[in-house]
Amino acid sequence: MTLAFEPQPPVLAPVDDGKQFPVRRLFCVGRNYAAHAREMGRDPDREPPFFFSAWAETVVTGNSTIAYPQKTSNYHYEVELVVAIGKGGRNIPVETAMDHVYGYAVGLDMTRRDLQLEAREQGRPWDTGKNVEQSKPLGLIRKAGAGFDPTRGSIKLTVNDAVRQDADLADLIWPVADVIAYLSGLYRIEPGDLIYTGTPAGVGAVVPGDVMNASIDGLEPLAVTVGETLKD
Ligand code: MN
């Protein structure tokens, strides 16, 4: 068999035990903190979680510089707890959902907000707003186990040292176990999947030269600089 061309190797995300986590797919939860749902003009009344997806290749690992994307003038940060899936399954009950978690990391769900809102208002898909090149920075994955509790703890983002998002994981409308249970009712989740669990209030725009520092208590912080727009 001859391949027409060499396939892209998988995106590898470093883990705190020295291993590399091969990224398979990204599932992102929309509006999972009440205050953020309100700032986006929506009622946070515990509607079931909803998901959008992004390509694995949108992930940029570790402290890095990401390109400011083309076709936007309103590129937003969203700090999020990211769940790395280590064990697949379908229709997983909430009670055993946490057995499927490999680890956790700090992530950013960068968004072309102007394109997302235009799509939303026209009833169109969010893809061009959300599934954007280099838009899903990911920090070091911490293996699940003793010492990190995904149900509480500070989640924070600064831009050029000014605090922009400051909340607690306890404010998640749908905690990690519920998100996994819902998602696995829509798709068979697989090892390598990443779930971006949603952002708290305070989202806003960045421009080239800005430095974002994202942190969650108990996880390795993530520093991301916004760079220039790619030309080729
Ligand atoms: Mn998000």
Q: How far is the CA of 2 from the centre of ligand 1 (A)?
A: 40
Q: How far is the CA of 27 from the centre of ligand 1 (A)?
A: 10
List the Cα angle 78/80/81 in 5-degree steps: 175
Tell whether the model's pLDDT for residue 46 goes beyond 80. Answer: no
Q: How far is the CA of 52 from the centre of ligand 1 (A)?
A: 9
Q: How far is the CA of 116 from the centre of ligand 1 (A)?
A: 11
Q: What is the pLDDT of residues 151-203, one digit of tens each?
A: 999 999 999 999 999 999 999 999 999 999 999 999 999 999 999 999 999 99
The pTM assigned to this predicted structure is 0.97
Q: What pLDDT score was predicted for residue 194?
A: 98
Cα separation, 219 vs 107, in Å, equals 11
> How many residues make up the chain in this entry?
232
Q: Find the helix or strand (DSSP H, E) in which 36 lies.
A: helix 34-39
Q: What pLDDT score was predicted for residue 41?
A: 87
Q: How far is the CA of 136 from the centre of ligand 1 (A)?
A: 10
Q: How far is the CA of 29 from the centre of ligand 1 (A)?
A: 6
**Domain spans of the chain, in order of start:** 13-227
In this structure, are residues 28 and 51 in contact, taking their beta carbons and an 8 Å threshold?
yes
Tell me yes or no: is domain 13-227 CATH 1.10.645.10: no
Q: What pLDDT score was predicted for residue 147?
A: 85
Sign of CA dihedral 86, 87, 92, 95: negative
